């Protein structure tokens, strides 16, 4: 199963907004590589929700609940979105600093490509992040 990390500015739309809403359209992605990742998402894929800005931490988990489709806000087939639903807040939020200090994430795109808003997460990284956040699948 593919795993993801979705970044969001908590001032614009936080994990707590997703919890309140139940589900949302994950939009606003413009980077070509991030859009490529969105296009490969499938219903059932899991994602960590990562707050950017001053927080810089994984705060919750979500599930992709629909196939990618053209962003309805724009007349541009290159821009895609997916629907996601909130799963749960993580028991222990994990900061970017903690991930960097762990030493097991040397090839993680979160660290290699810090401006990327949709980041693939390998199975090994997913399991380690679950451990660090005090959770299980």
Q: 46 — phi, psi (to 5°)? A: -105, 150
Q: Show Cβ contacts of residue 33 under 8 Å, excluding neighbours closer than 6 positions.
A: 113, 116
* pLDDT per residue as tens digits for the range 88-120: 999 999 999 999 999 999 899 999 999 999 999
* pLDDT per residue as tens digits for the range 59-71: 999 999 999 999 9
* pLDDT per residue as tens digits for the range 42-59: 999 999 999 999 999 999
What is the Cα–Cα distance from 84 to 81, expressed in whole angstroms?
A: 10
The total of other beta-carbon atoms located within 10 Å of residue 27's CB is: 17
pLDDT greater than 70 at residue 137: no
How would residue 75 be classed by pLDDT, with cut points 50, 70 and 90? Answer: confident
Q: Decide: 48 and 117 in contact? Cβ < 8 Å.
A: no
Architecture of the 3-132 domain? Roll (3.10)
* Residue 42 vs residues 1, 81, 132: alpha-carbon distances, Å: 9, 12, 25
According to DSSP, the residues that pair with 86 across neighbouring strands are 62
Domain boundaries, the chain: 3-132
């Amino acid at each position: 199963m593919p795993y993801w990390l979705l970044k969001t500015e908590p001032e614009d739309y936080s994990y707590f907004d997703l919890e309140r809403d139940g589900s949302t359209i994950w939009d606003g992605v413009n980077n070509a590589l991030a859009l490529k990742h969105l296009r490969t998402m499938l219903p059932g894929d899991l994602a960590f929700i990562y707050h950017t800005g001053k927080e810089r931490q994984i705060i919750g988990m979500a599930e992709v609940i629909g196939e990618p489709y053209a962003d309805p806000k724009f007349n541009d087939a290159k821009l895609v979105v997916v629907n996601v639903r909130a799963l749960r807040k993580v028991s222990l939020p994990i900061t970017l600093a903690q991930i960097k200090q762990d030493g097991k994430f040397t090839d993680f795109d979160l660290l290699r490509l810090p401006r990327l808003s949709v980041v693939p997460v390998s199975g090994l990284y997913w399991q380690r992040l679950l451990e660090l956040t005090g959770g299980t699948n």
